[in-house]
Structure 1
Amino acid sequence: MTTHLVIGAGPVGQAVVEHLHSRGEHIVVVTRHDDVSLPDGVEHRRANVSDPDAAADAFDGADVVYQCAQPPYDRWPELFPPMTRAIIAGVEAADARLVVAENLYMYGPVDVRLTEDLPYAARDPKGKARAECAELVFDAHEAGRIEATIGRASDFFGPGVRESVVGEMVFSAAAQGKRARVLGDPALPHTYTYVPDFGRALVLLGERDDALGEAWHVPNPETVSTRRFVYLVYDAAGIFPDYPRIISASGWLLSVGGIVSDELEELAEISYIYENPYVVDDSKFTRAFGDAMTATPLEEAIETTLDWYREHGIPAAPIEIPTGEEGESA
């Protein structure tokens, strides 16, 4: 039986685990801490995968390794590349296949649809760190050290996704009848990735030899404006149209807010993502693997996510967005 090893137990790692568990696969989850909730029958190993020796020990016996972990957001430039090197070394020692979950920061500001052949043009530290990590993975693959593939997703939403631009600030707010808070211009189109789809796509990529050595934009629900996205969330909550207007924040407001909030300062670095159309092209994946997987329809994904927030009673995000701009109702 194939042994699937998942690094990290955040929303993406959990999505991979849940999909594999539904198929009855043998699963090992590696985290730095013991306080992790896993389905029955899933093995847990504790290890610091930033240490190459510890990673090699933790990955022993693995056939496919899914890299779904990340350092603290404000320390990506410092910690992400060394962690990636250690994971590659551990995968090589285990003679396993590596599947990496990535976002889209490495492309930097773009004024076109995002495709996999775009250059790595990021100018911000986080985007540069992501680009370096991707290059490390593909360099190791091309050198024959490991077999590797990468799946890339846009901003997440879904059950268990709280720390997202449409997590607590939209879904939790809707569940409680509060104002939605968004970044950038809500009138612009923006692709959002449903995290269970991301998990399924990563597993599929790990199974396909023709996925190796390449990056793939995973399937996404239809792209709509953030305003339309919020409308659909509040409509699913049963409180549209009688709900408060959207509060939105631009890049300069985030920069000002950063004077008093480290979290806002971190978001300001990548504010360009929310101040321009951000449309992800997943046609490469669809052409290659569309017979095996398609994205969950947007309204179905939103309803499932909202149900999770209702069930768990997650409070609205405490983050305070400067209120210099207020968008129209969705």
Structure 2
Amino acid sequence: MALHVVVGKGPVGTATAELLAARGHRVRVLSRGGGTSTGAVEHRRVDAADAAALTAAARGAAALYNAVNPAYHRWATDWPPVAAALLTTAERTGAVLVTMSNLYVYGAPTGPMRPDSPLTATDLKGRVRIAMWTDALAAHEAGRVRVTEARAADFVGPQVPAAHSHLVRQLPTLRRGRTAWVIGDPDVPRSWAYLPDVAATLAALGTDERALGRAWHVPSAPPRSQRQALTDLAAALSSPAHPVPPARVRGVPWPVLRAVGLVSPMVRELVDVRHQFEGEYVVDASATTATLGLTATAWDEVVAATAGAVPATA
């Protein structure tokens, strides 16, 4: 089978590498810290901003997956050199460049977001993501590279660390019966991307020529507000031996977040994308299903798997 090179060993990179390996592909993961190679996945220590090192490690690859995850408050400084190095590597090696992206490019949506929705973001992080895709698409249209991009809603799943998910970070709170304080309006509909569905989408994009030259949305279950999602998770956490009360969910007031943002870069960046938490934030992935045949994991399965990873003593 072909060699597939995954850059980044966070939750997305790890899940994608494991899925590709399970399908019989040769898989190599590149990351700044390296890792322990196994019979299924090879790890190498490579700086994602070093085009020469990336190229040397990706020679012969059929596809190159961008699963890099810079610190949230460092996107403006860390993403441009990494994106440029990956684009250069794709051009030098001939590998398809598959980028893991998000919904920031759309700015404040006025309805369900589709891959062909206008890229109207005005916040800094959204503009960074728009520039990355615009540069990659221009290189693709010029015939220099072959690119495609996956865009996903907020992550959920047992494989997702608490720091990477608005839902997963609340599981210990729900287990203890305490109030879950969330960002924004707890009752607006939102899409959630189950990590195995994210990996399945990336793997499809890297192995199907129909995916080239455009962006695709990761299929997601029907929208659930933060209150609904956390209520579902609390119910799934509960058992006769360890009963969990119904979820209590409240939104953190924005003035409080702005005050915290004065000393916390992470929170300051969240305030900058307030629009993502105040109105409907829903994905339309029908094109992915119609063309690539991918569908979302049922929400009940997502909830059961996510809750099942939480120890009863958490």
Q: Which residue of 2 aligns with 1:275?
A: 278
- Separation in structure 1 between the aligned mates of residue 254 and residue 60 of structure 2, nearest angstrom: 46
Contact 2:167/2:230 (<8 A) preserved: no
One-letter amino acid matched to 1:295: A
RMSD between aligned residues: 1.9
Q: Which amino acid aligns with 1:238?
A: S
Looking at structure 1, the residues matched to 36 and 232 of structure 2 have their Cα atoms a distance apart, in angstroms, of 31
Instruction: Look up the SS of the partner of 1:248 in the other structure.
Output: strand
Deviation at 1:92, TM superposition (A): 1.4
Map 1:205-220; keep pairs closer than 5 Å.
Answer: 205-220=205-220
Partner of 2:76: 77
Structure 1 contact 149–205 (Cα < 8 Å) conserved: yes
Q: Which residue of 1 aligns with 2:287?
A: 284
Cα deviation for residue 250 of structure 1 reads: 4.2
Is this contact kept in 2: 1:250–1:275, CA < 8 A? no
SS at match of 1:119: coil
Task: Report if the CA contact (8 A) 2:174-2:234 is conserved.
Answer: yes
Q: Name the CA distance, whole Å, in 1 between partners of 2:310 and 2:143.
A: 44
Whole-angstrom CA distance in 2 between matches of 1:180 and 1:310? 18
Deviations 1:174-231 (A, max 9, x none): 3444432311111110111101100001101111111100001111112122211111
* Partners of 2:153 and 2:193 within 8 A in 1: yes
Which residue of the partner structure matches residue 6 of structure 1? Answer: 6
Alignment of 1:239-254 (within 5 A): 242-243=245-246, 245-254=248-257
Q: How do 1:244-323 and structure 2 match up within 5 A? A: 245-290=248-293, 293-310=294-311
Cα distance in 2 between the residues matched to 1:247 and 1:182: 6
The aligned counterpart of 2:190 is 190
Deviation at 1:302, TM superposition (A): 1.6
Q: What is the rounded CA distance, in whole Å, between the counterparts of 2:45 and 2:6 in structure 1?
A: 12
Aligned to 2:174: 174
Tell me how far apart the structure 2 counterparts of residues 181 and 170 of structure 1 sit (CA, whole Å).
8
TM-score (norm 2): 0.92
Q: Could you say what secondary structure the match of 1:185 adopts?
A: coil
**Secondary structure, aligned partner of 1:224:** coil
The sequence identity of aligned pairs, in percent, is 35
Q: Distance in 1 between matches of 2:258 and 2:165?
A: 16
Unaligned runs of 5+ in 1: 316-330
What are the superposed Cα offsets for residues 128-159 of structure 1, whole Å, 9 maximum, x if unpaired?
10111111111111111111111100111112
Label 1:236 to 1:128 Cα distance change in 2 as closer, same or farther (>3 A).
same
| 1: CA distance, partners of 2:69 / 2:198 | 16
Displacement of 1:236 in angstroms is: 0.4
1:285, CA displacement in angstroms?
A: 0.9
Structure 2, gaps ≥5 residues long: none
How far apart in 2 are the matches of 1:64 and 1:283?
Answer: 24
Distance in structure 2 (CA, Å) of the matches to 1:176 and 1:25: 43
- 1:319: which partner in 2? none
The whole-number CA distance in structure 1 between the counterparts of 2:38 and 2:65 is 17
| 3-state SS, counterpart of residue 61 of structure 2 | coil
Partner secondary structure for residue 256 of structure 1: helix
CA spacing shift, 1:39–1:299, aligned 2, 3 Å:
farther
Letter paired with 2:250: I
Question: C-alpha displacement at 1:307, in angstroms?
Answer: 1.8
| TM-superposed deviation, 1:306 | 1.8
Measure, in 2, the Cα distance between the counterparts of 1:250 and 1:59. Answer: 47
| 3-state SS of 1:133 partner | helix
Query: What amino acid maps onto 1:12 in structure 2?
Result: V
Alpha-carbon distance in 1 for matches of 2:197, 2:176: 26
Partners of 2:166 and 2:190 lie apart in 1 by 11
Matched AA of 2:180: A
> SS at 1:260's partner residue?
coil
Contact 1:157 / 1:167 at 8 angstroms: preserved in 2? yes
Looking at structure 2, the residues matched to 120 and 253 of structure 1 have their Cα atoms a distance apart, in angstroms, of 30
Equivalent residue pairs, number: 310
After TM superposition, the score normalised by the length of structure 1 is 0.88
Q: CA deviation at 1:38?
A: 6.3
SS at match of 2:83: helix
Say whether the 8 Å CA contact 1:21–1:39 is kept in structure 2.
Answer: no
C-alpha separation in 2, matches of 1:150 and 1:235: 35
Matched, 1:139 2:138: yes
Q: Distance in 1 between matches of 2:137 and 2:78?
A: 19
Residue type of the alignment partner of 2:164? S
SS in 2 for 1:66: strand
5 Å-filtered alignment, 1:49-128, equals: 49-128=48-127
Tell me, in whole angstroms, the C-alpha distance in 1 between the residues paired with 2:72 and 2:122: 17
**CA shift at 1:45, angstroms?**
1.1
Shift of 1:279: 1.0
Instruction: Find the aligned partners of 2:39 and 2:2 in 1 and give their Cα distance.
Output: 18
Q: In the alignment, residue 124 of structure 1 is paired with which amino acid?
A: D
Residue type matched to 2:7 in 1? I
Instruction: Give the residue type in structure 1 aligned to 2:198.
Output: F
